[in-house]
């Protein structure tokens, strides 16, 4: 039994670059729900960065609150970052398509849509023409991304952005 929901039009499989990824098995129209993560809500102080698969299992869902997915790897743990994503957030735990997605496409979101802390920073290898090269917990502060991802940020980041625009 999975603790998370993955749209049946999707599948997780090994990625030729290593690790796993989620791919569309068939056409998915813009706005369709692709994923809902399930798990345990934890405060930042209770997270253990040394646990197995930390960056695959943890996603920030609000100020000082994180969702910790199941210990056993699930397909939803395989969503990767892209600086040119085709998925965005719907609420704290949902991912929807930002545009029509064709069968065979890898399904990715930009971690700037959900990460407001430095718990998962890395050198980006997404290969998109607009790649930022370094992904940080401060990427959500980029005004260009506010425009690009309007209505697709996690709600707590949308509130942060709104407060910066006052």
Question: What's the pLDDT score for residue 95?
Answer: 98
**What mean pLDDT value characterizes the chain?**
93
Provide, rounded to the nearest whole percent, the portion of the chain with pLDDT above 90: 77
What gap in Å lies between CA 15 and CA 21, rounded to an integer?
Answer: 6
pLDDT of 2 over the 80 cut: no
pLDDT of 16 over the 80 cut: no
Q: Where are the beta strands (DSSP E) in 70-110?
A: 80-81, 87-90, 94-97, 106-109
State pTM to two decimals: 0.93
Are 117 and 90 in contact, with CB atoms under 8 Å apart?
A: no
pLDDT of 149 over the 90 cut: yes
What tokens does 113 get? 């849509």
Residues 52-100: tens digit of each pLDDT: 888 788 899 999 999 998 888 889 989 999 999 999 999 999 999 999 9
Q: Exposed (0-12), middle (13-18) or buried (19+): which is 133, by Cβ within 10 Å?
A: exposed
Residues 50-65: tens digit of each pLDDT: 888 887 888 999 999 9
Compute and round to an integer the Cα radius of gyration of the chain: 15
Domains of the chain (ranges, CATH numbers): 5-164 (2.170.270.10)
């Amino acid at each position: 039994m999975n603790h998370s929901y993955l749209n049946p039009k999707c599948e997780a499989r090994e990625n030729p670059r290593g690790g796993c990824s989620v791919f569309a098995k068939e056409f998915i129209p813009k706005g369709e729900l692709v994923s809902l993560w399930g798990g345990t809500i934890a405060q930042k102080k209770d997270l253990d960065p040394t646990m197995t698969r930390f960056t695959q299992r943890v996603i920030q869902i609000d100020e000082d609150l994180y969702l910790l997915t199941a210990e056993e790897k699930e397909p939803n743990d395989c969503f990767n970052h892209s600086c040119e994503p085709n998925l965005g957030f719907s609420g704290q735990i949902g991912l929807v398509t930002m545009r029509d997605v064709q069968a065979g496409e890898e399904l990715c979101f930009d971690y700037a849509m959900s990460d407001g802390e430095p718990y998962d920073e890395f050198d980006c290898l997404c290969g998109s023409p607009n790649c930022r090269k370094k992904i940080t917990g401060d990427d959500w502060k980029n005004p260009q991304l506010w425009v690009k991802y309007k209505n697709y940020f996690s709600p707590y980041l949308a509130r942060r952005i709104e407060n910066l625009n006052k």
